Amino acid sequence: MDLNDTPEQARYRAQVRAWLDEHKAGAPAEQDDDDPAYIDARRAWQDRLAAAGLAGVTWPVELGGQGLGPIEHVIVGQEIARAKVPGILDVIGVGMLGPTIIAHGSEEQKSRYLGPMLHGDEVWCQLFSEPAAGSDLAAVQARAVVQDDGSWRLSGQKVWTTNAHFAAFGLLLARTDPDVPKHKGLTMFIVPMDAEGVTIRGLRQISGEAEFNEVFFDDVRLEPGAVVGGVGNGWATALTTLMFERLTIGLGSDGLGYRPERYAAAIASDEHARTDPEVRRRLGELCVELLAVKFAGYRMLSALQQGQIPGPEAGLAKVTTVRAAIAAGDLIADVLGPDALAEESEWAYMISFLPGLKSAGGTEEILRNTIGERVLGLPPEPRLDKGIPFSELRAKERAGASPR
């Protein structure tokens, strides 16, 4: 067991740190809002990081990456956090969608899209979730129909789409065959966000901010070459993205900003709260969980280095993080009083953000089902959708929902 850098890793860290020390003055200051000038500054910063080899660390060299391992990826993340500069803007593209294209895309797709993605010239968004397909992602209804010339026509709606309002492309999961069971009739597409028929609308959340979008597709034309990973193979392609999503979250848990020190600092300045046994118990309990998640991240990293792919149990880290952060927000509001709930307060923002985060990437309940079944080997929930063509399933749902 060894958590320390090897000499090679220490050298790599020193090299990353030296570059950041030299260039961090040119980094944009981190801010929450996303006006176009700020987004442009972040894209330019991503370009500099990419040019220095600090983006796409695990991507293959021939595709513009560094061909390094997950540990180097984490070292870069740690050093960026230490330098107090923003990381890359397009975490979703470089961390999840790019790797999906690397795994399933054609040679043309790789050479056309990956470079501009890595450098922040073209930001990407993930068009998976729909109003009626979240945790049950294979229930997507966005429909793509093939035309005589091999092109496709796409109609439907996506939701919870981060970065859609400034994205150049999206990776979209659509139904291409409704007459087979739901996991089988899906196909993955690359969609230009400026195509005719694409409408993007900000989706305001509890906090009042719009970090996500709804995206509407009205008879959007897609080229034959837009298919990623083969027609009817969309589910397998989506699973690749979801695996990289787990990795991105798991290896970046420190980066989510839910750190024990941050919460302790909020309480430490209140002399009474600092010594109050009940406050300390609550702070201690939630920090125990966050410390555990931090080391669970190292375990994942270690497993990756041994060539193991993290299983669904990695999702427990998200459950733990969100629960602990909710407890932290609650505690801090109890200590600071209503000022913690002022609209401009970082705590009000966190308190507002977390209830929704509980469902992000799949609800906690569905995640617990999945882990119970795949990791503990418990018998599955009885499923009413197995082996039934999607169109039939929808007809049943409509009949069930209509008044009798």
Partner 1 sequence: MNLELTDEQSFLREAAREALSRVKTVAAARDALEDPTARPDLWPVAREAGWSGLLVSEQAGGAALSAFDAMLVMIEAGRVLAGVELLGHLPASSLLDAGGDERTAAVAEGELRACFVAAAPPSDVHESWTVEPPAGSVRRPAPVLAGDGTLSGSIAWVADVPGADLFVVACTQAGDGAPAAVVVDSGEARVRSAVRYDATRALGHVTFDGAACTVVEGVAGAQLARAWYLAQALLAAESLGAVETALSMSVAYAKERFTFGRAIGSYQAVKHSLVEVLRLRENTYSLLLYAGWAYEDKPDEFALAASAARSSAGRALDYASRAMISVHGGIGATWEHDAPLFFRRAQLSRRLLGGAGDATDRVAGELLGAVRGATTTGAEEA
Interface residues with partner 1 (CB under 8 A) are: 1-5, 9, 71, 260-261, 264-265, 267-269, 274-275, 277, 279-281, 283-285, 287-289, 291-296, 298-299, 301-303, 305-306, 313, 316, 319-320, 365, 368-369, 371-373, 375-382
Report, in Å, the least distance between residue 333 CB and partner 1.
17
- Minimum Å gap between C-beta 211 and partner 1 is 28
Query: With respect to partner 1, which residue has the nearer C-beta, 376 or 399?
Result: 376
**Closer of 147 and 305 to partner 1 (Cβ):** 305
Task: Please say which residue, 4 or 402, places its beta carbon nearer to partner 1.
Answer: 4
Output 368 or 396, the one with its CB closest to partner 1: 368
- CB-based contact 202:210 (threshold 8 Å): yes
Alpha helices (H) in 83-180, listed in sequence order: 91-92, 98-104, 107-118
* Residue 148 burial (10 A CB sphere; 0-12, 13-18, 19+): exposed
In sequence order, what are the residues at sequence separation of 6 or more whose Cβ sits closer than 8 angstroms to the Cβ of residue 265? none
Instruction: Provide the minimum distance between the beta carbon of 314 and partner 1 in the complex, in angstroms, as a whole number.
Output: 10
Do 390 and 181 touch, CB atoms closer than 8 A?
yes
Instruction: Specify whether 62 is catalytic.
Output: no
CA–CA distance, 299 with 310 (Å, rounded to integer): 10
CB of 193 to partner 1, least distance (A): 38
Which residues contact residue 237 at a Cβ distance below 8 angstroms, ignoring those fewer than 6 apart?
A: 100, 104, 173, 188, 228, 229, 230
In 3D, which of 163, 177, 101, 81 has the Cα closest to residue 127? 163
What radius of gyration do the chain's Cα atoms show? 22
Nearer to partner 1, 375 or 395 (CB): 375
Shortest spacing between CB 4 and partner 1, in angstroms:
6
Q: Are 253 and 152 in contact (CB under 8 A)?
A: no
Task: Say which of 245, 343, 365, 397 is annotated catalytic.
Answer: 245
Residue 206 and residue 326: Cα distance in Å, rounded?
15
Q: Which is nearer to partner 1, 211 or 276 (CB)?
A: 276
CB of 386 to partner 1, least distance (A): 14
Q: b/e per residue, 270-293, with b = 16+ CB within 10 A?
A: eeebeeeeebeebbeebbebbeeb
Give CA–CA dist 181/178, Å, rounded: 8
Q: How far apart are CA 287 and CA 133, in angstroms?
A: 34
> Least separation, in Å, of the C-beta of 73 and partner 1?
12
| For partner 1, the closer CB: 78 or 352 | 78
Across 84-185, the runs of DSSP E, i.e. the strands, are 124-127, 143-146, 152-159, 169-175
Catalytic residue positions, numbered: 245
